[in-house]
Amino acid sequence: MGESTAIPLAEAKPGQFFRIHRLSLDGTMRRRLLDLGFIPGAEVKVLQKSPLGDPMAFLVANTTIALRKEESAQIYGEIIGERGDHHG
């Protein structure tokens, strides 16, 4: 999938699976996200949005992580499936 079709993780919906292509962050925040498992090629499941839509909960590397929209909007990739489509 090309960069032109990559979407931000913030646009994914609960129940969807997302494959990370790139992070457009620098410095401490980039390092923190990489340490948490938000690395290119990783699969992320969108768990839920808070009632106001921020933060959102994600499952990455078998850990539930909550990110603010300003963070998840800087993580780009593709939707790879919905709940029930995924086998792994």
2: confidence class by pLDDT, cuts 50, 70, 90? very low
Preceding peptide of 55 cis, ω within 30°: yes
Average pLDDT over residues 7-15: 96
**pLDDT over 90 at 71, yes or no:** yes
Is there a domain that residue 64 lies in? yes
Global pTM value? 0.86
Please give the tally of structural domains in the chain. 1
Q: Report angle CA 17, 56, 63 to the nearest 5 degrees.
A: 65
| Under 8 Å between Cβ of 44 and 20 | yes
Range of 61's domain?
3-81
pLDDT of residue 85: 56
Cα(52)–Cα(33) distance, rounded to whole angstroms?
A: 23
Report the CATH number at residue 7: 2.30.30.90
Cα end-to-end distance, the chain, whole Å: 21
